[in-house]
Amino acid sequence: MKRSYVIRTFGCQMNEHDSERIAGLLEADGMERGDDLADADVVVLNTCCIRENADNKLYGALGNLKTLKESNPGMLIAVAGCLAQKDRDLIRERAGHVDVVFGTHNVSRAADLLTQASEHGPVVEILEAVARDDEEAFPSALPTRREVDHAAWVTVQIGCDNKCAFCIVPAVRGPEISRPFGDLIDEVERLAADGVSEITFLGQNVNSYGRDLALARRGTPANDDEWMCGASWTADRRARPLFADLLRVAGEVDGIHRIRYTSPHPKDMRSDTFAAMAEVEAVCEHLHFPLQSGSDRILAAMHRGYTAERYLERLAEARSAIPGLAVSTDIIVGFPGETDTDFEATLAVAAIAQFDSAFTFIFSPRPGTEAAALESDFVPHDVAVERYERLRLVIERSSIAANRTRVGMIEEITVEGISKKDSSMTTGRTRRNALIHFPTDQPIKVGSYARVEVLEASVNHLKGRLVEKTIPARHRTRIAVAAG
Ligand code: SF4
């Protein structure tokens, strides 16, 4: 009997990508994906530490696993990800039934550490950082087990050089390391050959991609400059390879029909990225543009490196460069010291920006961040909740307004499967990253493309009617077809 594994992923796309790699490593080690935690031979919890309740979620899950392990003593439990990177041995001190703890810099060791633990007992292995030339530093160098067959994450850089006062990422993911340009394009071509038609470039700050590569190359010019930094950097001898170069070259790869990316940082956003988004057919008309706050005083306290005015200028430039652009954002309310005036500024900027959607959060102090030490300035929770509700209404107003402008239009969609809420409907995703539900009388394969006329709009999704199927899915199917 093949041993089975179950992976539970908390947090962001970077963690989802790491989990696909951990799954790939375990399958390469002869295991198969299991569904039932109780019967699993291996359980991996891939953790996040961005939010306060991240700890509660982990130790709550470990509490449940303790009971399951009592009736399945052969089960191996591993804790990975950002909270493992931050808490290290503390995790086994609080949960002695954990067998393996590994962090964000040694995902490649997952299978080996599990074998080591099964033979020699519990192991905690946390690396401080990765070396630039460490092949396995980039999850994309490892075997993978993708969640969906037609779409893939492609990591362009790991780590972050920014020091946002509320963020623990630099502490747990290390400094920015950009992946060699040639490596990235190679992977995009491999994915396209494997039937993938949509890629999402991943990084904590994608538009600073390549900054470190050029510096490294200047130090040691060599004949593989093109591999490291791309043909256009080599040809133009520019300051650095650009994220825009990546969008342009990846957009020429046969079979790649859609390109998305997350996350850019407004202070590093460049006009050449907007130009590439406008000119490269495959790049979708969606920009995730984290604002965080609309108050210059709070933006400075957060060390975001831009003002509200500068943010809105960049946003206006993006919208004029890219017709039909949808914009989503991240906003934190209740950052330490935030006054009513600061919050009103956030509401005002959100109203001007007219976001299509937003992830809004109440500030939560993360041990190890600068902001967590500002306890005397913490905003009372009830005040933060009241502000959160007011902001949510402003965002909902602009979301519904934006979705209503799509009624009557024909959207190109990718089929994502049967609607979770209504099995008679099929769910698709537009190029602007909106969900759309529509009835079909014939099953449509997940990953196929179609044109759908928008008939109705609501805050979080659209409804429509199928006009025609366009591009069939190219990947080999492993998952169920959509409803019919
Ligand atoms: S840019 Fe700021 S918020 Fe984003 S990962 Fe880096 S430090 Fe965190």
Per-residue confidence at 392, pLDDT binned at 50, 70, 90? Answer: very high
Q: Which of the 8 DSSP states describes residue 128?
A: S
CA dihedral 466, 468, 471, 476 (to 10 degrees): 60
Q: What is residue 282's predicted lDDT score, i.e. its pLDDT? A: 98
**Cα 269 to averaged position of ligand 1 atoms, centre (Å):** 14
Task: Report the pLDDT averaged over residues 340-362.
Answer: 97
Per-residue pLDDT at 222 exceeds 60: no
**Cα 160 to averaged position of ligand 1 atoms, centre (Å):** 6
Task: Report the pLDDT averaged over residues 475-479.
Answer: 54
Which atom of ligand 1 is closest in space to residue 160's alpha carbon? 6
pLDDT in tens, 22-70: 999 999 999 999 988 999 999 999 998 875 577 888 999 999 999 999 9
Task: Report the pLDDT averaged over residues 413-417.
Answer: 96
pLDDT in tens, 279-308: 999 999 999 999 999 999 999 999 999 999
Helix, strand or coil, per DSSP, at residue 450 = strand
Instruction: Name the token pair of 444.
Output: 């449509």
If one counts every other C-beta atom within 10 angstroms of the C-beta of residue 443, the result is 14
Residue whose Cα lies nearest atom 1 of ligand 1: it is: 162
Residue whose Cα lies nearest atom 8 of ligand 1: it is: 167
Q: Which of the 8 DSSP states describes residue 32?
A: E
Q: What is residue 355's predicted lDDT score, i.e. its pLDDT? A: 98
Q: Which residues of 211-223 are buried (b: 16+ CB within 10 A; e: fewer)?
A: bbbbeebeeeeee
Of 15, 86, 167, 262, which is best to mutate to test ligand 1, by the most ligand atoms within 8 angstroms of its C-beta? 167
Per-residue confidence at 8, pLDDT binned at 50, 70, 90? Answer: very high
Q: What is residue 132's predicted lDDT score, i.e. its pLDDT? A: 59
Q: Which of the 8 DSSP states describes residue 41?
A: S
**Cα 169 to averaged position of ligand 1 atoms, centre (Å):** 6
Per-residue pLDDT at 338 exceeds 50: yes
Cα 430 to Cα 411: distance, rounded to the nearest angstrom? 6
Q: What is residue 51's predicted lDDT score, i.e. its pLDDT? A: 58
Per-residue pLDDT at 254 exceeds 70: yes
Cα 421 to Cα 419: distance, rounded to the nearest angstrom? 5
The continuous run of DSSP H or E covering 94 comes out as helix 90-94
Q: What is residue 479's predicted lDDT score, i.e. its pLDDT? A: 41
Burial of 237 (0-12, 13-18, 19+ CB in 10 A): exposed
- The listed range with the strongest mean pLDDT (55-59, 180-184, 411-415) is 411-415
Residue whose Cα lies nearest atom 2 of ligand 1: it is: 164
Task: Report the pLDDT averaged over residues 422-438.
Answer: 96
**Cα 192 to averaged position of ligand 1 atoms, centre (Å):** 30
Which atom of ligand 1 is closest in space to residue 292's alpha carbon? 3
**Cα 433 to averaged position of ligand 1 atoms, centre (Å):** 23
Q: Which of the 8 DSSP states describes residue 380?
A: P
**Cα 165 to averaged position of ligand 1 atoms, centre (Å):** 9
Per-residue pLDDT at 225 exceeds 90: no
Cα 66 to Cα 97: distance, rounded to the nearest angstrom? 7
List of domains in the chain: 4-125 (3.40.50.12160), 135-404 (3.80.30.20), 410-471 (2.40.50.140)
Q: Which of 89-98, 250-259, 388-397, 473-482 has the lowest mean pLDDT?
A: 473-482
Which atom of ligand 1 is closest in space to residue 161's alpha carbon? 6
Report field, pTM of the whole predicted structure over 0.75:
yes
**Cα 33 to averaged position of ligand 1 atoms, centre (Å):** 33
Q: What is residue 476's predicted lDDT score, i.e. its pLDDT? A: 59
What is each CA distance from 262 to 229, 275, 336, in whole angstroms?
Answer: 20, 17, 27
pLDDT in tens, 123-153: 999 988 766 566 556 655 667 777 788 999 9
Ligand 1 proximal residues by C-beta, below 6 Å: 160, 162, 164, 167, 169-170, 204-205, 265
Q: What is residue 52's predicted lDDT score, i.e. its pLDDT? A: 57
Give start and end residues of each alpha helix (H) in 251-302.
271-279, 296-301
Per-residue pLDDT at 368 exceeds 90: no
**Cα 331 to averaged position of ligand 1 atoms, centre (Å):** 13
Residue whose Cα lies nearest atom 4 of ligand 1: it is: 204
If one counts every other C-beta atom within 10 angstroms of the C-beta of residue 56, the result is 10
